[in-house]
Chain A
């Protein structure tokens, strides 16, 4: 594997063990050694990603609400049965 860039954040094996336990994983020593090497690469990549974007740039990262549903055609008012006139009002 390539060596990680110089600005890679360091993490000790003990710290890594704590993080892995918190993730609910139980790794044997060989798997742990693989993870240390893999993490060095990923940490190196993270270190190269610039973070100097203005806060205001992120209005909504990826959230896209659905467009509003088409309004349903207005329902025809149901004709009310006329109340029977019992008699002329007085």
Chain B
């Protein structure tokens, strides 16, 4: 086997090299652990590195390989947002509240990845309990953006975005209630996928707002997200929202041509509801042209206003998150970060009638989205107003002030992918969001994959 490990590998590349015996899982894991040691102090992506665990799992993968086993995740080093329970390994949700929490079993998704031979490198930073923003009054500092460490990663899967972009994990698990996988994917220039609710089990993932929470993959490419999704998707009777549906292979469908696919551009979102920078607008124009060149029929599409989706999503999140934390807030209020308290405490004042009103309105918005997605296979938009903002500009009392385009897909219960759409003049990544109809996860991934192959965005990595 080769002794030197390439500095950046995708899951697909590493998997191929491992299968060809050109790369050993032990060498790969050792190289990743070295890189974590060098890069993590400047990024704060990991809150816990499980080096011993990783080396043991890598050796087991090597044995399995020698015994003739194979698989796309055998010996692949991954890391998990620290709200995924890991048996015998501390799971804190980046909070003082759970600082001593050592779960007895793995989250179902983690169990499936480990059964496929994946190697856990450690646990990744998040906003406290997957809500709010970067906080300095927590046991660990907020993650920093590898493209410019003075900038925000986006969140709440902040460590997942930073680790994948920096190449100190080949893939990661994140969670998404209002955009928490896709915002860091946008700001960190990677691919992040929020599946259709019910496709991926949430058992063992510390909840934020159960009627909106989804678990999903984050990786350098859409192809890698599909590889991870192939492993983690599937019915889990222990998650009440999990649905038993026939599963396609998300990787096998990726290369089917896009010719004739109907793409709706949500222009009003980025021109009116949540206006974007001129560079983001240019990126949207270029992305539309790229998809047209790939054979898609690209036209303007209209959904209800972003603000309608945001009102529903934010009221539901406030009420459900408060309900889950009420008992602990009564006894340990000061142990939560200020940003968490600002986002969640107002839920104490949301009346049951207001919460039900939001849920009723959600059914209208789901129906309206379904109607639009009868005319289009996918919808595209800009997930953020601009590139990653400076970390210092993030204010704990920003609360719910800004419109958030990503929440549309959570409220509408549809799959949504963010890929790197391009770079601004300063070399910072700009995200492109692709949404599809419920259970059309494979189509969304296919569009993202073709887009990445048609552009050069995957050739550029942050310089650390």
Residues of A within 8 A of B (CB): 1-2, 11, 16, 19-20, 23-27, 31, 34-35, 37-39, 41-43, 45-46, 48-51, 53, 57-58, 61-62
Q: Does B330 contact A (CB under 8 A)?
A: yes
A39 near B333 with CB under 8 A, answer no
Tell me the smallest distance from the CB of B217 to a CB of chain A, in Å: 26
Name the residue on B nearest A45 (C-beta).
B311
Most buried by B among A45, A48, A57, A58: A45
Name the residue on A nearest B305 (C-beta).
A48
A42 near B349 with CB under 8 A, answer yes
A1–B398 CA distance with the chains assembled, in angstroms: 6
Q: Which residues of chain B are near A39, meaning CB under 8 Å?
A: 346, 349
Q: Does B359 contact A (CB under 8 A)?
A: yes
Name the residue on B nearest A38 (C-beta).
B346
Main secondary structure of the interface of B (DSSP, over half): helix
Q: Which residues of chain A are near B314, meaning CB under 8 Å?
A: 42, 45
B401 near A1 with CB under 8 A, answer yes
A42 near B333 with CB under 8 A, answer no
Identify which of B80-88, B168-176, B336-344, B436-444 touches chain A.
Answer: B336-344
User: Could you mark each residue 299-328 of chain B with 1 if its beta carbon is under 8 Å from any beta carbon of chain A, else 0?
Assistant: 000000001101110110010000000100
Q: Assuming A42-B400, A46-B315, what are 7 further A-B pairs, CB within 8 angstroms? A: A1-B398, A27-B333, A31-B345, A35-B341, A46-B354, A57-B363, A62-B211
Given the known interface contacts A1-B401, A61-B359, the answer about A25 and B333 at a Cβ–Cβ threshold of 8 Å is yes
Name the residue on A nearest B359 (C-beta).
A61
A2 near B401 with CB under 8 A, answer yes
* From A24, A34, A48, contact of B330 by CB (8 A): A24
B360 near A19 with CB under 8 A, answer no
A48 near B311 with CB under 8 A, answer yes
What are 29 A-B contacts defined by CB distance under 8 Å? Answer: A1-B397, A2-B401, A19-B348, A19-B349, A24-B330, A26-B333, A31-B341, A34-B338, A37-B399, A38-B345, A42-B349, A42-B350, A45-B310, A45-B311, A45-B314, A45-B315, A46-B358, A48-B311, A49-B311, A49-B357, A49-B358, A50-B361, A51-B357, A51-B360, A53-B361, A57-B360, A57-B363, A58-B360, A62-B359
A34 near B354 with CB under 8 A, answer no
Closest 4 CB pairs of A and B: A45-B311, A38-B346, A23-B348, A42-B346
Q: Which residues of chain A are near B348, meaning CB under 8 Å?
A: 19-20, 23, 25
Q: Which residues of chain A are near B310, meaning CB under 8 Å?
A: 45
* From B329, B361, B363, contact of A25 by CB (8 A): B329
* From B341, B345, B350, B363, contact of A46 by CB (8 A): B350
A16 near B333 with CB under 8 A, answer no
A25–B341 CA distance with the chains assembled, in angstroms: 12
* From A25, A48, A57, contact of B308 by CB (8 A): A48
Q: Does B356 contact A (CB under 8 A)?
A: yes
